[in-house]
Chain A
Amino acid sequence: MSKDLKFLVVDDFSTMRRIIKNLLHDLGYSNVTEADDGKTALPMLQAGDFDFLITDWNMPGMAGLDLLKAVRADAKLAKMPVLMLTAEAKREQIVEAAQAGVNGYVIKPFTAETLKEKLDKILGAGK
Chain B
Amino acid sequence: MSNFSVLKSEYGAYVDTLGEALERGDETAFFKAVDHIVHLREPKMFAEIRKLTGDLQKALDRFSIESRLADLAEHEIPNARTRLTHVINMTDEAAHRTLDLVEQSGPLAERTAREAAALLDAFAAFRERVPVTGFEGIVRSIEAFLPLVRAFEVFLPAARTDSEQIRRNLAEVLLAQGYQDLTGQIIRSVIKLVEELELALGNLTRLSGDMVEHATLGENPSAGQGPVVPGVTKGEVASAQTDVDALLSGLGM
Contact = CB atoms under 8 A, between A and B. Distances in A.
Contacts of A58: 185, 223-226
Interface string B203-233: 0000000000000000001111111100001
Interface string A14-33: 01101100110010000000
Contacts of B177: 15, 18-19
Nearest to A57: B224
A29 to B, nearest CB: 15
15 contacts: A13-B181, A15-B178, A15-B181, A19-B175, A22-B174, A26-B171, A56-B181, A58-B185, A66-B222, A90-B221, A91-B235, A92-B235, A107-B238, A108-B182, A110-B178
B236 interface: yes
Interface in A97-118: 98, 105-112, 114
Interface residues of A, number: 38
Contacts of A13: 180-181, 184
Given A88-B224, A91-B247, 9 more contacts: A11-B181, A22-B174, A87-B181, A90-B225, A90-B235, A90-B238, A94-B248, A105-B244, A112-B171
A95 B181 CA distance: 23
A91 B236 contact: yes
B130 interface: no
Interface of B: 171, 174-175, 177-182, 184-185, 221-228, 233, 235-241, 243-244, 247-248, 251, 253
Given A106-B244, A108-B182, A87 B238 contact: no
Nearest to A96: B222
Contacts of B222: 63, 65-66, 96
Interface of A: 11, 13, 15-16, 18-19, 22-23, 26, 56-59, 63-66, 86-96, 98, 105-112, 114
B180 A94 contact: no
Given A19-B175, A58-B225, A98-B253, A105 B248 contact: yes
B185 A94 contact: no
